[in-house]
Amino acid sequence: MKEIEKRSLTGVVYIFLMLAGAAIHPLIFVVVFGAFLYLTQFEFYKLVETAGNSPRKTTGLTLGLLLFLISFGMVNNIIPTRFYLIFILALMVIFLFEAFSKRRGILQNSAVTLTGFVYVAIPFSLLNFMVYPGYPYSPEFNAKILIGVFFIVWMYDSMAYLFGSKFGKHKIHKTISPNKSWEGLIGGAVFALAMGVVNALIFGQLSMLNWILVALLSVISGTLGDLFESIIKRRLKVKDSGTILPGHGGLLDRFDSLLFVIPVVYVWLNLSGNLL
């Protein structure tokens, strides 16, 4: 199979899983995105191991998945909100494991374990609150806002790549990400904002102005998320975070934008009163 065909097929499967997980049923949502969380956080830990770090993978992955499942239980009114308090104690486990181990780099290993939890598990867990926008008053599964955010990010990424490939002359940062240009960013941003307008027409849920603001925030935070992962990979001298997606690299390479977009959009939707 040619590289372009492999890349296209992988992209279709990836988008199908994302949309199926978000749109069909809450149980499919928790299985699909729980699996994505686990695999993405695992990739992050394998990535930092190449630099000589020794994260507590089992502890970090368990806590990450536990946070996601507790969040899912909360929005479905199965688990009390106060269950979040257990993470104050649970995160201490990361430091205690290192303190009583004989490995070197206690603080460094604890830090990279905690980073994987914050960087990957928290954004994925916030997805639960985006697909239950009426929480805590209405446990109704509604993924329209989340799907709209996906569309904005995918539109931005695709058009930024096309505009950057054709017109890109002025690099955003030659050292960190030599393939990203201001022309690509501007072209992608225009189409992302247009996607925000389309979302307002097909999904509703938010006002036209709010969808445009969500698109703008997605462009800014998504670009920063992409650059953040690029910095990590460049400093570790690796091309891709993994090989699970043929032609695309790893899941962390696909979710790098969303890991920044989701927290920013979620905070905005809360502050603006669009989530109860």
**How many CA atoms are closer than 13 Å to the CA of 53, on its beta-carbon side?**
21
DSSP assignment, residue 158?
Answer: H
- Written as one string, the DSSP assignment of 9-34 is HHHHHHHHHHHHHHHT-HHHHHHHHH
Q: Is residue 9 part of a domain?
A: no
What is the pLDDT, as a whole number, of residue 255?
87
Same domain for 105 and 135, yes or no, is yes
Where among 117, 140, 163 does a domain terminate?
Answer: 140
Q: Is residue 167 part of a domain?
A: yes
Q: How confident is the model at residue 93 (pLDDT cuts 50, 70, 90)?
A: confident
Same domain for 150 and 49, yes or no, is no
What is the number of domains present in the chain?
2
Q: Is residue 110 part of a domain?
A: yes
Same domain for 133 and 147, yes or no, is no
Same domain for 275 and 172, yes or no, is yes
- pLDDT tens column, 146-161: 999 999 998 888 887 7
Same domain for 192 and 98, yes or no, is no
Q: How confident is the model at residue 76 (pLDDT cuts 50, 70, 90)?
A: confident
Residues of the chain above pLDDT 70, percent: 83
End-to-end CA distance of the chain: give it in Å, rounded: 48
pLDDT of 260 above 90: yes
Q: Is residue 20 part of a domain?
A: no
- pLDDT tens column, 208-236: 899 999 999 999 999 888 888 888 877 77
Same domain for 136 and 172, yes or no, is no
Among the residue ranges 131-145, 158-172, 177-191, the one predicted with the least confidence is 158-172
Burial tier of 269 (Cβ tally within 10 Å: 0-12, 13-18, 19+): buried
**Residue range(s) defining the domain that contains residue 212:** 143-276
